Chains A and B, each alone.
Chain A
């Protein structure tokens, strides 16, 4: 079976303070299969979020190739990459990134706004997703009326509503207490049980231990901690 997502000799550089490019991610090759669950661990500033942005097609590599379902994403224009994200990729962020002025339902529907679904289907799917994360009774609450854990649930519902092929979660428990964090991980695992791949960035070794495949990143070098994947 072909990999869902592959990085082929990918590097990422940013302009440094002296004007010279600073390579944040060194030559990296890896593949993520359908339904795979991966944790990315590593110290702060090691390049975890950069790697996640590249995998999620939010950013483009400086060199090398990113492919999604055998399509070369690096050759795609901005518009096609946006459509790819809209239809196939779900994101969950540490700071939730909810729109403060609208309800939980509107926030989840925003996750479907750039798909081709008609408005009533979006509403139905958003309500289903909110019920799935246990917020069926609070769909009209605004983020300010919800706790941190509930806000992250809304963010997860937003990622789940589109039934993505892969979910990227960037430290989803970073802003939550331990118990709430574990509950959030359970929700994400439950989503992965329905067939989506799950890639999570975390500092928490206990959370990372629950994932069958773990990638360690330090100083821009990615290392496989478990068997089953390719590495740089």
Chain B
């Protein structure tokens, strides 16, 4: 006749608890190894994830997820205009987040601070024409004022890139500038835009105004010069193909220049940092496991007398093995729980201190704890088997 399962489990846990907590200093030492292992795992993977997130955000800011669509060339080297529908079809692609449309600027447009500046003293500033929303697509932000929208698109207003504002000596909105003898009110000044350097030295005007103001260039202005496409992170080459196809469904040539190397670097960085975090964690856990195994071997040697006694009292080798494996698992569970707390606190502290995004994998914490228990069970198996192999008389003589 056997004991009911519940009684057997309760006995096992009770015996393991007595064994694991009988000597507090030993419990602390044994748990410390696995606690440090798990804490290292959680902290390092948390810190690595925060660094990873910060680095990826930096790469994204540099344009790793930005592609620029421009007219391609036909066999004779003539430009193939982008179709009008291109922005809409590109925007419909699931991997596309934002689309910014720039139209062809008027030829030889000249920009001056006022009429007193000699006409020969140009500022090498370009005029850009944008549709509403383009500034957001290139991730530029405003130092002052606001952008061109549906309300002011047909008015003589301008947004200055950071370099353009500097060269024109304009440091506040509300000033006026002169473009091709026409006064424009400055409604916004941009911060430097790292992803679209050409915008920095540009003066941006609205599409409707440009078309009405340059009637002789109406047709060319209406042609799209560039479409900035902000995508979700992914395979750069496949994104490039999708965007190229969407930009010209009839198969005409389209130039899609991606920050491909940057994008590949982003993916490689992401992969290698993830692998690094996992490797560090695995090593830390293995070290913790070794510490549990060592401590359990010492425990078995120390407690030969108890093992002999239990065998004399009727414990089977299986009972002894289960007792020590459970004890190792219990020590690991205690150590693992402490380690998760210490590791999470460390990761949070480091991320806050470094001003990095906190990207601790909360759902991974129970898994880290489970891994610690598993490591403890594996580490405890050898010492437990040694204990189980002791004969009662040998074990009793050992004390």
Contact = CB atoms under 8 A, between A and B. Distances in A.
A119 B11 contact: yes
Interface string B1-19: 1111001001100010010
Contacts of A58: 311-312, 391-393, 396
Contacts of A102: 18, 22
Interface stretch (A15-23, A84-92, A188-196, A198-206): A84-92
Given A56-B312, A79-B316, A83-B314, A119 B22 contact: no
Interface in B273-324: 305-306, 308-319
A101 interface: yes
Given A58-B312, A114-B313, A79 B318 contact: yes
B22 A101 contact: yes
B306 A99 contact: yes
A113 B313 contact: yes
A219 to B, nearest CB: 20
11 contacts: A59-B392, A59-B393, A78-B317, A82-B314, A83-B314, A87-B314, A99-B309, A110-B309, A113-B15, A114-B310, A118-B4
Contacts of A86: 313-315
Contacts of A141: none
Interface string A170-181: 000000000000
Contact of A97 (B3, B18, B309, B314): B309
Interface string A88-125: 00010101010111100010001101111011000000
A102 B10 CA distance: 17
A101 B15 CA distance: 12
Contacts of A116: 1-3
A115 B23 CA distance: 27
A53 interface: yes
B7 A119 contact: yes
Contacts of B319: 82, 114
Nearest to B310: A110
A158 B396 CA distance: 16
Nearest to B309: A97
Q: Which 6 A-B pairs have the closest CB atoms?
A: A86-B314, A101-B22, A114-B314, A82-B316, A58-B392, A97-B309
A125 B110 CA distance: 105
A113 B11 contact: yes
A78 B23 contact: no
B1 A99 contact: no
Given A82-B311, A83-B314, A86-B313, A59 B391 contact: yes
Nearest to A107: B309
Contacts of B306: 97, 99
Contacts of A59: 391-393
Contacts of B391: 58-59
Contacts of A106: 18
B303 to A, nearest CB: 9
Interface of B: 1-4, 7, 10-11, 15, 18, 22-23, 305-306, 308-319, 391-393, 396, 399
Given A59-B392, A97-B308, A101-B23, 16 more contacts: A53-B393, A58-B311, A58-B392, A58-B393, A82-B316, A85-B313, A97-B309, A99-B306, A99-B309, A102-B22, A113-B15, A113-B315, A115-B314, A116-B3, A119-B10, A119-B11
Interface of A: 53, 56, 58-59, 78-79, 82-87, 91, 93, 95, 97, 99-102, 106, 110-111, 113-116, 118-119, 158
A108 to B, nearest CB: 11
B18 A91 contact: no
A111 B311 CA distance: 10
A197 B159 CA distance: 107
A97 B393 CA distance: 13
A100 B10 CA distance: 21
B315 A99 contact: no
Contacts of B305: 95, 97
Contacts of B318: 79
Nearest to A111: B313
B315 A82 contact: yes
Nearest to A56: B312
Contacts of A119: 7, 10-11
B311 A95 contact: no
A113 B315 CA distance: 8
B18 A99 contact: yes
Contacts of B396: 58, 93, 97
A121 to B, nearest CB: 10
Given A58-B393, A59-B392, A97-B305, A91 B23 contact: no
Nearest to B21: A101
A85 B314 contact: yes
A87 B314 CA distance: 8
A8 B9 CA distance: 40
Nearest to A83: B314
Nearest to A93: B396
B371 to A, nearest CB: 29
Give the one of B10, B23, B310, B313 with max A CB within 10 A.
B313
Contact of A118 (B2, B7, B15, B392): B7
B316 to A, nearest CB: 4
Contacts of A91: 312-313
Contacts of A99: 18, 22, 306, 309
A93 B22 CA distance: 22
Nearest to B15: A113
A73 B247 CA distance: 88
A200 B339 CA distance: 52
Nearest to A110: B313
Nearest to A53: B393
